[in-house]
Structure 1
Amino acid sequence: MNMINTTPALQETDQLRADIYALLATLLRNAPETELLAWLASLEPDQDEDTPMARAWSTLALTARHSKPQQLDNEYHHLFIGVGRGELMPFACWYLTGSLMEKPLVLLREDLKRLGFERQPSVKEPEDHIAALCEVMSLLITNGHGYATQHQFWQQHLASWANRFFSDVQTADNAVFYTAAGLLGNAFMQQEDNWFIQLSPAVRENGQQQ
């Protein structure tokens, strides 16, 4: 996705949210390359913190340490591309209607146009690919869209199906490294749900980041 905007200063929590969305987008767009895999393997989460997110980070780091780029290329191909189709279909329409290119994609494109996003020419997948939606959420945060806009987009285009997708990733026959990525996705979607619930109505609805 492309969007031209100035980037305001973000509080640490919002920057972390944007970074996690961007990481999920990267992992779900392509298999991680050597540099990203090394960074994931170097993570050292706080061992005293027993939360779903902390456990997900620990699992992802451990899995990355035992993974090789070529192995992950093959895993990604079997999961999401395949011959004809992969084991999983990472598209909102598929999870919401059982088919591709249906009404949820039409509504998404309307929202993306209204928000000023356009698909990059090099991207061939429809905009309801999970990676694209995570990328949009990251850009909404970093480009200063308030919590009201973030919550509306998340509620409309991710909340209704992303957890099912990430759960399917964890149990997929071809998933090894991506089992950990699915665990992170599930934990983060739950964290986002809690995040929006805990915002006061005034903060959430006036669209201001605090």
Structure 2
Amino acid sequence: MRDDGLDRAIDAAGGIAQLARKIGISQPSVSNWTRVPAQRVVAVEIATGIPRNDLRPDLYSEQAVSAELVDALDAARAQEYALLATLLSAPPSKRLLEQLAALSGDATPLGRAHAALADVASSAVAAKVEREYFDLFVGLGRGELLPYASYYLTGFLNERPLSRLRGDLTRLGIERLTNNSEPEDHAAIICEIMSGLADGHFGASPEAQRDFFEKHVSPWMGRLFADIESAGNADFYRAVGALGRAFIEIETEAFTFAN
């Protein structure tokens, strides 16, 4: 039987198929769930508006992860990574576009990127953005871009960077989701993992988080976002690329200072 949190998410999304599409996985995968998997909680929260502590109270109750124990900056970082994970895993729904249009900005580089994303989201048509996502990341045969660490670091898919990533995930106790066809070095999955590291969900030390970023994010993901920003088929995703590039630059600088 499905638990209450999963039932609420399915209802909010408009059905199992719609929830699967919004978070970028197959319908059978969601059909096999009895509760929202830990690594999908943030994506489901963003796609449906159901709070994570309602989706998985065993993980996000006050007893499981006290908000007081998560630094406000780390919570903001986790949200940023979660947003990027959601936008890289699937095209945004009409509901998410409306939420993005309400983003506010400021004079900082990240604030300006938020404002630009809000501006483009306010006039975006979900069907057109879905086609744009298809052209960029899926395509007939392949998309304009391949958002995988192995490809960016070696020029080929499923290479040594993926093997190294799997080894580090095992050491961190992060398990691969069943029925997920994407290799773990997809940018969306790595951003989702960074979100879990930042908000303390995975229980890793700051040193382990920095090591993961320096090995699996900073060597390539900034280039991916720059390529999204300059891609010929990008319109809405041009703003996503600019946001991701600005955020990764900030993260890189912050981890450098931490060293």
Contact 2:104 2:111 in 1 (8 A): no
Contact 1:2 1:118 in 2 (8 A): no
**2:221 matched to 1:162?**
yes
Contact 1:163 1:189 in 2 (8 A): yes
Partners of 2:248 and 2:102 lie apart in 1 by 24
User: Gaps spanning 5+ residues in structure 2: where?
Assistant: 1-36, 40-57
Question: What TM-score, normalized by structure 1, do the two folds share?
Answer: 0.89
Residue 211 of structure 2: aligned partner: 152
Return the match for 1:42 from 97, 102, 112. Answer: 102
Note the C-alpha offset of 1:2.
4.1
**2:164 matched to 1:100?**
no
Contact 2:150 2:157 in 1 (8 A): yes
Note the C-alpha offset of 1:122.
3.6
Aligned AA (1:149): A
When residues 84 and 97 of structure 1 are mapped into structure 2, their CA distance, relative to the original with a 3 A threshold, is same
Partners of 2:65 and 2:151 lie apart in 1 by 34
Question: What TM-score, normalized by structure 2, do the two folds share?
Answer: 0.73
Partners of 2:253 and 2:145 lie apart in 1 by 27
Return the match for 2:146 from 89, 110, 118. Answer: 89
Contact 1:80 1:90 in 2 (8 A): yes
Determine which structure has greater relative contact order: mean sequence separation of CA pairs < 8 Å that are 6+ residues apart, divided by chain length: 1
Residue 45 of structure 2: aligned partner: none
Contact 2:104 2:115 in 1 (8 A): yes
Return the match for 1:175 from 231, 234, 237. Answer: 234
Aligned AA (2:65): T
Q: Runs of at least 4 residues of structure 1 off by over 2 A? A: 1-9
Deviation string, structure 1 residues 127-166 (Cα, Å, up to 9, x no partner): 0000000000011122242321111000000100011100
Partners of 1:176 and 1:122 lie apart in 2 by 32
Deviation string, structure 1 residues 166-202 (Cα, Å, up to 9, x no partner): 0000111110000000001000001101211233x5x
SS at 1:175's partner residue?
coil
Residue 136 of structure 2: aligned partner: 79
Residue 110 of structure 1: aligned partner: 167
User: Gaps spanning 5+ residues in structure 1: where?
Assistant: 202-210
**2:239 matched to 1:188?**
no
Contact 2:197 2:209 in 1 (8 A): yes
Residue 24 of structure 1: aligned partner: 84
Aligned AA (1:17): R
Partners of 1:81 and 1:139 lie apart in 2 by 26
Tell me how large the CA RMSD over aligned residues is. 1.6
